[in-house]
Chains A and B, each alone.
Chain A
Amino acid sequence: MELKINGICKTYGMIKGLDKFSATLTDGVYGLLGPNGAGKTTLIRIITDSISCDSGEISLNGVDIKDLGLSFRSYLGYMPQQDGIYPSFTAAQYLSYIGALKALRREEMNRQVEYVLKAVNLLEVSDRRIGTFSGGMKQRLMLAQALIGDPKIIILDEPTAGLDPKERIRIRNLISGYALNRIVIIATHVVSDVEYIAKEIILIKKGRLIYHDTPDRLCKSLENRVFEIKTYEENLEKILSRFEVCNIQKTTESIIVRILLKENQSEKKDLYGYDYRMIRATVEDVYLSVFDEEREKELIK
């Protein structure tokens, strides 16, 4: 299966929501990363046929999704960012309703509802009203509704928000398992959610595609730029002002600061005098390096 996004443009008045965005997606998990307002939700809404694009096209296996029309929606499973639930429905009723909307046959419905409820660990509370669910339970239910109907393209907007670490891992594994013969797009801020399961990472900034590559290659792009400095508390302020700090870890004796060298900085010149060692970059480091500007603006605000 191939979902081809070709030169999508979308403007809201003077603001460019998406600017000639192109990408080709095949089976596997795709991490769609970007700060707020980057255009992630706009892209998702165009893929889910909720809004139209100004120009460009999206095709599934070579056919424009506009021409596919209703049948394209039968391929879709979508989990929006906000909880879209009916508080007075029970979990089973809700999934059964979504199943009906997805044109599931009755005999199939029973099997699928139980399966997804079990998958998201809600089988025990399937007869409870959704209004009484906790935030995490609602989040899992939203994921369940996206998975029901065996969709071939699954789009998840912040799927792990509000989940505890155990559930987060559980859901991550579940998504990973589902992605074997499907296209799964995960839009998130939590880099660790996609780092280990994503086949490819898509970085989007101001509506433009910045990077689209495998996590390994993305990390390689930051080779020789990520370091760990072993220092003491009195030097911390100086390091913070000088480098892009990714992480600070306090040990019994010292402090270990993970830094990212900027384009204009060099190991020999800028790290001279520090007790440091070079380490392998992660996707989080890539994210920080790409969206640094945004972070600065936010800090100023």
Chain B
Amino acid sequence: MNLITHELRKSFLNRSAIIFLVCLLAINMLAVYISERIDFGFDADIRSIRKLDQLLMGMDKTQAEKYLNEQIIIQNIAIMDRQDIIGIFKTEYPDYDINKLVERYRKGDYDKYTDIAYRDLSLFRQKLLEVESAYSYDEYIQSVINRAEQLKKSSIFSDTPFTIRNASKTYDDFNSLDIKMVRFNSSKGVLCATRNGITPILLWVFGIFVCIQTFTKDRDSHNLELLRTMKRGRKQLMTSKLISMYYFVSVSVTVTVLSSYVISYLLYGFGDISMPLQSVYGFRSSIYEISVGGYLVLYILLFVAVMIFLSSVNLLIFVTISNSLKGIVGILLVMGTAYILNKGISSVSFFNVFKYINAYHFLDISRALIEYLNINILNYPVSYLLLFLITICVGTFAAFYICIHISKKKKERTYASSGILLKARKRKVPVAGIFWYEVYKSMVINPVIIILLVFCIIQIATVHPREPSEILNKKEFIYMKYMEVLEGSISDTKSVFLKENLIEIKKKQKEDTYNSYTDQIEVIMSLIAKDDRLHNLYDVANDQTIRRNISFIYERGYKEIFTDGTTTRFTALYASVLIVLCISGIFAVEIKNNTYEVITYTVYGRKRTFWYKQIITLIISLIVLITVYLPYIIKFSKESGFACLDAPIACMEDFALLPLEISVLEYFIWLFAVKFIGLIVMATFINLVSHYTGEPIVTASISLAAFVLPAFLSFSGIREMSDILMNVFLYGNRLATLSLALTIQSIVLVIACIVCFIILYIKFNKVIIIKNRKPSS
């Protein structure tokens, strides 16, 4: 017990561990908050979800559906107040008095939650889905039972023994389920607390840090060598290290998950936590008869268990591999393999055990409780939760045992008869160029590589293309389908096609009693208007090449990147945070370690070191630009495509004022060049501060206040901040408007950056300005 206390005190009750934990909590809370804001949009009050949920929880099914349908109709009228739309609603909602609703809309007698009509509309639609899902739980269960029964009996579907057994097990599991009174419950808080992808990844990274604190620090400082000579320095020491690690992991996980709970609770609340888990939207396939409150507690316990398991595996890797850096690479390889297996293996494959029972999938902890999943083990269906628990328990125990077993052993040194140590490594003097040492100092001593790697993992885990059905509403979907046909240069054929198609659809609309073609007609009309605009551009353009390139462009992807919408704002926030974290130590490292005096008396210690540091700054800025923006470019290119790069940017309505000579590709390059310049300007300021303060933390704090705060405020919805400091460069699109104030501001910033660079050059290189030196007698 005494040893465990000492280990805990040594490894975790120190400044770095506590700072790391506090940072983890702050990052987690901030990241959860930001991701929720991104999902909801930063222009509306996110607490309106909670308000609406509370209202709906007080209603029964009929009341809730009536209320939501009425609100949907009113909001639709608010968006498109036209007579034909009102006619459509009369047909679509025969049970509702549309005229009365129109009157209510005119009087303003309807509920506004976000004060933004389309946002309210999508909120009501989402809530309607949730209400329908909650109140149709019994039918859902019955349908699962029926399907399972059908599969069990019908040999057509039962192609493998697993299918039959699985159907039988599913039938039994759902048939024995006794859950009553599933009503509408506020779900967003629970989903945000337990289904966000950020907390598990952060805690996994934290787990690696805990292993380093527990074991590798002692090993690298050669303390382990000394401790091993003592009576309790092997088995007992390792046991106490492991136990103290488990203790610290448990505390950290609990505190971090609780911090997610706090943010979720403050944003959305948890609804009625005594209701069954199945009342949460998306959780109805769960077969566990627990309440929402029980689920929240169980989630923490499972999270702790998973993190203890993963930390044990990580520690085992560190113990086995004697080099800490290689150990980290080993851990990344294990997680990378798990990721590939999880993504690569089909869910219906015979080997799906490797898809689900692996480290990456374990990080999605809530799935064990909310999803009904049977794993194929030699054609027998085994519950995922059972396998999950067995793997975690056995895996943790095995890792624990092996770690202790390895630490008990002593490496035998073998000597030749001459007394020379065999297998001893030949001493080699490392020979590398100054540049590589600079890279090592700037990117390894300053943990730039780790920061970028963690960010890459977060990007991979969070940024992925979604299906059009997930992101587009009906009209947008129709528009996309039309653009698939129309995209490319304008032509008379396309104009004729649009006009003929309009006539055809209008004809169909007349015959259709439900008026289902209204949206399509609207889309075609907007496309015809667009076609007219493009033809006007064609007439205006003098150059034949420009004329040839005037095209229909599907703007959705471009708009995300080219305008200062949500994506642009949070990517700017990411980029500024990363630049501050990565650059703050490059020049400070010399002052902090007192090496500045040593390197500057050498031949290459001034100018060459200075320029190499500048090159590294450029490289880091480029990597930041790529890691921040590339995943989004890939995402949007997969979702919407980036076609017609040769077309003039003015073909897009948002950029109609730009000259025809600028193509989409040129604008694209220009925009990213401006962003890159912004990063370099920021990095130059940081380098100067870093050289003066000599402290990475102080530099980072100053830079965070100067560069990240405006980006964050702008992201939070304060639009005035978009035109301030680096946001002008990081958003880029505003500069394209050639506003005089913005242009002057950006020129001033660039000049200030050049001045900073010159000051840094003079200071770092100790350039001595000789003024009237008089030789002394």
Contacts of A227 in B (CB 8 A): none
A135 within 8 Å of B by Cβ? Answer: no
CB distance from A150 to the nearest CB of B (A): 13
Contact A56 to B776, CB < 8 A, known contacts A49-B766, A87-B593, A101-B602: yes
Q: Do B594 and A92 touch across chains, with their CB atoms under 8 A apart? A: no
A132 within 8 Å of B by Cβ? Answer: yes
- From B431, B589, B596, give the contact of A106 (CB < 8 A): B431
Contact A109 to B431, CB < 8 A, known contacts A84-B595, A131-B221: yes
- From A57, A80, A82, A96, give the contact of B430 (CB < 8 A): A96
CB distance from A201 to the nearest CB of B (A): 23
B421 within 8 Å of A by Cβ? Answer: no
B445 within 8 Å of A by Cβ? Answer: yes
- In whole angstroms, how far apart are the Cα atoms of A282 and B605 in the complex? 41
Contacts of A84 in B (CB 8 A): 593-599
Query: What 1/0 mask marks residues of chain A from 76 to 94 whose CB sits below 8 Å from any chain B CB?
Result: 1010101111111010110
B768 within 8 Å of A by Cβ? Answer: yes
CB distance from A297 to the nearest CB of B (A): 29
Q: Do B598 and A20 touch across chains, with their CB atoms under 8 A apart? A: no
Q: Do B597 and A82 touch across chains, with their CB atoms under 8 A apart? A: yes
B609 within 8 Å of A by Cβ? Answer: yes
Contacts of A208 in B (CB 8 A): none
- In whole angstroms, how far apart are the Cα atoms of A126 and B600 in the complex? 24
Give the dominant DSSP class at B's interface.
Answer: loop
A43 within 8 Å of B by Cβ? Answer: no
Which residues 95-138 in B have Cβ within 8 Å of A in the complex? none
- From B431, B594, B604, B773, give the contact of A103 (CB < 8 A): B604
- In whole angstroms, how far apart are the Cα atoms of A128 and B775 in the complex? 49
Which residues 679-720 in B have Cβ within 8 Å of A in the complex? none
Q: Which residue of A lies closest to B775 (CB)?
A: A57
CB distance from A9 to the nearest CB of B (A): 6
CB distance from B339 to the nearest CB of A (A): 29
Which residues 104-140 in A have Cβ within 8 Å of B in the complex? 106, 109-110, 113-114, 123, 126-129, 131-132
A8 within 8 Å of B by Cβ? Answer: yes
A26 within 8 Å of B by Cβ? Answer: no
Contact A145 to B775, CB < 8 A, known contacts A86-B445, A103-B603, A110-B429: no
CB distance from A166 to the nearest CB of B (A): 22
- In whole angstroms, how far apart are the Cα atoms of A149 and B222 in the complex? 31
CB distance from A97 to the nearest CB of B (A): 4
- From B432, B605, B766, B776, give the contact of A9 (CB < 8 A): B776
Query: What's the interface size class on A, roughly?
Result: 35 or more
CB distance from B595 to the nearest CB of A (A): 4
Contacts of A95 in B (CB 8 A): 429
Q: Do A6 and B776 touch across chains, with their CB atoms under 8 A apart? A: yes
Q: Do A145 and B598 touch across chains, with their CB atoms under 8 A apart? A: yes
Per the CB 8 Å criterion, the residue count for chain B at the interface is 39
Q: Do A92 and B429 touch across chains, with their CB atoms under 8 A apart? A: yes
B444 within 8 Å of A by Cβ? Answer: yes
Q: Which residue of A lies closest to B223 (CB)?
A: A132
- In whole angstroms, how far apart are the Cα atoms of A74 and B599 in the complex? 12
CB distance from B730 to the nearest CB of A (A): 33
- In whole angstroms, how far apart are the Cα atoms of A47 and B436 in the complex? 30
Query: What 1/0 mask marks residues of chain A from 40 to 74 whose CB sits below 8 Å from any chain B CB?
Result: 00000000111110011100000000100010011
A102 within 8 Å of B by Cβ? Answer: yes
B45 within 8 Å of A by Cβ? Answer: no
A100 within 8 Å of B by Cβ? Answer: yes
A162 within 8 Å of B by Cβ? Answer: no
- From B441, B601, B770, give the contact of A76 (CB < 8 A): B601
Which of A52, A90, A95, A114 has the most chain B CB within a 10 Å cutoff? A52
Which of B220, B600, B602 has the most chain A CB within a 10 Å cutoff? B602
B434 within 8 Å of A by Cβ? Answer: yes
A239 within 8 Å of B by Cβ? Answer: no
- In whole angstroms, how far apart are the Cα atoms of A102 and B429 in the complex? 16
- From B222, B593, B600, B775, give the contact of A86 (CB < 8 A): B593
B40 within 8 Å of A by Cβ? Answer: no
Q: Which residue of B lies closest to A129 (CB)?
A: B220
Contacts of A8 in B (CB 8 A): 776
Q: Do B427 and A78 touch across chains, with their CB atoms under 8 A apart? A: no
- From B220, B433, B596, B603, give the contact of A102 (CB < 8 A): B603
Q: Which residue of A lies closest to B773 (CB)?
A: A55
Query: What 1/0 mask marks residues of chain B from 467 to 497 whose CB sits below 8 Å from any chain A CB?
Result: 0000000000000000000000000000000
Contact A100 to B776, CB < 8 A, known contacts A92-B430, A127-B427: no
Contacts of A52 in B (CB 8 A): 768, 770
Q: Do B596 and A6 touch across chains, with their CB atoms under 8 A apart? A: no
Q: Which residue of B lies closest to A82 (CB)?
A: B594
Contacts of A142 in B (CB 8 A): 598
Contacts of A66 in B (CB 8 A): 768, 770
CB distance from A154 to the nearest CB of B (A): 11
- In whole angstroms, how far apart are the Cα atoms of A50 and B596 in the complex? 10
- In whole angstroms, how far apart are the Cα atoms of A50 and B601 in the complex? 7
Contact A80 to B773, CB < 8 A, known contacts A100-B434, A101-B602: no
Contacts of B434 in A (CB 8 A): 97, 100-101
- In whole angstroms, how far apart are the Cα atoms of A48 and B508 in the complex? 90
Q: Which residue of A lies closest to B425 (CB)?
A: A127
- In whole angstroms, how far apart are the Cα atoms of A82 and B595 in the complex? 9
Contacts of A96 in B (CB 8 A): 429-432, 437
Q: Do B602 and A102 touch across chains, with their CB atoms under 8 A apart? A: yes
Q: Which residue of A lies closest to B599 (CB)?
A: A101
Query: What 1/0 mask marks residues of chain B from 570 to 611 whose CB sits below 8 Å from any chain A CB?
Result: 000000000000000000010001111111111111001100
B536 within 8 Å of A by Cβ? Answer: no
- From A73, A80, A101, A123, give the contact of B594 (CB < 8 A): A80
Contacts of B601 in A (CB 8 A): 48-50, 73, 76, 78
CB distance from A114 to the nearest CB of B (A): 6
B774 within 8 Å of A by Cβ? Answer: yes
- In whole angstroms, how far apart are the Cα atoms of A50 and B445 in the complex? 26
- In whole angstroms, how far apart are the Cα atoms of A195 and B74 in the complex? 98
Contacts of A93 in B (CB 8 A): 430, 437
Q: Do A97 and B437 touch across chains, with their CB atoms under 8 A apart? A: yes
A35 within 8 Å of B by Cβ? Answer: no
Q: Do B433 and A55 touch across chains, with their CB atoms under 8 A apart? A: no
B544 within 8 Å of A by Cβ? Answer: no
CB distance from B75 to the nearest CB of A (A): 60
- In whole angstroms, how far apart are the Cα atoms of A73 and B770 in the complex? 19
A290 within 8 Å of B by Cβ? Answer: no
CB distance from B415 to the nearest CB of A (A): 17
Contacts of B431 in A (CB 8 A): 96, 106, 109-110
Contacts of A101 in B (CB 8 A): 434, 599, 602-605, 608-609
B513 within 8 Å of A by Cβ? Answer: no
Q: Do A80 and B775 touch across chains, with their CB atoms under 8 A apart? A: no
Query: What 1/0 mask marks residues of chain B from 739 to 770 whose CB sits below 8 Å from any chain A CB?
Result: 00000000000000000000000000010101
Q: List 25 A-B contacts (CB under 8 A).
A: A6-B775, A7-B775, A9-B776, A20-B776, A49-B766, A50-B766, A70-B603, A78-B597, A83-B594, A84-B594, A85-B594, A87-B593, A90-B430, A93-B430, A96-B432, A97-B434, A98-B598, A100-B432, A106-B431, A109-B429, A126-B427, A129-B221, A131-B221, A132-B220, A142-B598
Residues of A within 8 A of B (CB): 6-9, 20, 48-52, 55-57, 66, 70, 73-74, 76, 78, 80, 82-88, 90, 92-93, 95-98, 100-103, 106, 109-110, 113-114, 123, 126-129, 131-132, 142, 145, 149
9 more contacts with CB within 8 A, not counting A84-B599, A95-B429, A101-B609, are A51-B766, A51-B768, A84-B594, A100-B437, A101-B605, A102-B603, A109-B431, A126-B427, A131-B221
The 4 closest A-B pairs by CB, nearest first: A7-B776, A84-B598, A52-B768, A101-B602
